[in-house]
Structure 1
């Protein structure tokens, strides 16, 4: 697993992954906001996700912090005609409004994350449950349809896209992940669980649960913490790489050949 992390987690990975939009900016707030939209939209083939995120950021004039901070109803026209999967202009408008409220109230996106993290620890609740609740509390008029675009651990979601975002923004000393936020240690990150990662984890005997839900995330992350308690999320790279190159898994490690 460590060899595969070293093999996959390289600068070459960036250009074919939505994380590239964080690397495209120099200002940390631009990076955090562009990354949040890129992770939130990371649904489907990566090349299509990249094309759609690029289109969306172009509509912001490639100045996400400035655009969001100064957003008004007349700016909603910039999102006309935008579509990605089930994302529609109405969703992008309200996500932008929510982020604007966060920046105005908390001063930065990281400050908001830190407050959610503190609340989750105080109340012994999953971070992504608290994040979802407090995120939409910023704009109570947000249409219910937009809520589905931000995961909620209370719904037993794997919260894959939110933990992908935190992998990008929390992990340090990585050629891919930028480590821009400091409100929590990498040791507390959960693995971004998608169907491909889950399949390889089951093949390797790291995951026994059948469903790709919040319990599966917890089980897999605990398995990976036995390999590296300080940075379990790095193995997302290994499981991704093994998924692309499944024929290179040594036979002695194939615990479940038909997961």
Structure 2
């Protein structure tokens, strides 16, 4: 497949999958339950954090977590008491347990009280063409308060060669305005051109079959390679092709 044919093929798949029907079976449905900016970004961040494994399980556990937060994530983060935090103790999704959940709520309060919120932290450390260093800086700030050492593993660090799939997915949700009602585009201080593709098993395998990626490991080096290829297809909105790669891998078994 030459570059023109590949571009036409991928653009058609973007149109096929980047539409409201995508929301029905995707974890992005959780932040779509909210209308307030802070509720969208906090629910989105927490949902993306547990977005690995079975998709139905991810969605069900994210809904359960929103229930623990009284259906008002921002209010809970800002105004919770120690007693409020205790009811999070039973929460578990794979290796993310109640202790991790409590730590995340404390760190989010720190982010909003002392650093101006999630968008502010990510936008302060951004580089011209990438948010990967910004993700690493975010992790440092997130865990600058007293915290459980074990909880650090739930935020990936691109500087340590992680593809940071889940946090790149969260950033896509917040930054990219697709005019299709899927991604939110509520973070105006960042540009879709700076986003990186959420690289996982499905998108990685499809990218390799299409000749967009050669590296076998799904790590930061592979992400840079894939980002470079996708930016050649669309420099302004490279991660729109996440819909194509994901859809081809998950829904079509490409």
Shared fold (TM-score greater than 0.5)?
A: yes
CA distance in 1, matches of 2:220, 2:116: 31
Contact 2:43/2:66 (8 A) holds in 1: yes
Contact 2:206/2:248 (8 A) holds in 1: yes
**Deviations, residues 193-251 of structure 1 (Å, cap 9, x unaligned):** 0001000000011000011000000100110111111011000000011112145xxxx
Equivalent position SS for 2:27: coil
Matched, 1:196 2:202: yes
Runs (5+) with no aligned partner, structure 2: 1-9
Q: Alignment partner for residue 27 of structure 2, among 12, 18, 21?
A: 18
Equivalent position SS for 2:233: coil
TM-score (norm: length of structure 1): 0.89
Contact 1:163/1:189 (8 A) holds in 2: yes
2:69 is aligned to 60
Contact 1:60/1:78 (8 A) holds in 2: no
CA distance in 1, matches of 2:89, 2:106: 16
CA distance in 2, matches of 1:237, 1:34: 21
- List, as ranges, runs of 4+ consecutive aligned residues in structure 1 with deviation greater than 6 Å: none
**Deviations, residues 39-85 of structure 1 (Å, cap 9, x unaligned):** 11101111100000001110010100000001222212211211101
Q: Alignment partner for residue 151 of structure 1, among 134, 147, 156?
A: 156
1:163 is displaced (CA, Å) by 0.5
Matched, 1:164 2:166: no
CA distance in 2, matches of 1:11, 1:5: 12
Contact 2:78/2:109 (8 A) holds in 1: yes
Which 10-residue stretch deviates more, 98-107 or 53-62? 98-107
1:125 is displaced (CA, Å) by 7.2
Contact 2:206/2:245 (8 A) holds in 1: yes
* RMSD over aligned Cα atoms: 1.5
CA distance in 2, matches of 1:188, 1:115: 14
CA distance in 1, matches of 2:139, 2:103: 14
1:88 is aligned to 97
Q: Alignment partner for residue 181 of structure 2, among 175, 191, 195?
A: 175
Mapping of 1:96-245 within 5 angstroms? 96-117=105-126, 126-137=133-144, 139=145, 141-172=146-177, 173-243=179-249, 244-245=251-252
Q: How many residues align?
A: 241
Equivalent position SS for 1:226: helix
1:79 is aligned to 88
CA distance in 2, matches of 1:143, 1:17: 30
1:155 is displaced (CA, Å) by 1.8
1:144 is displaced (CA, Å) by 0.8
Contact 1:113/1:183 (8 A) holds in 2: no
Which 10-residue stretch deviates more, 125-134 or 2-11? 125-134
1:50 is aligned to 59
Runs (5+) with no aligned partner, structure 1: 248-259
Contact 1:71/1:97 (8 A) holds in 2: no
1:256 is aligned to none
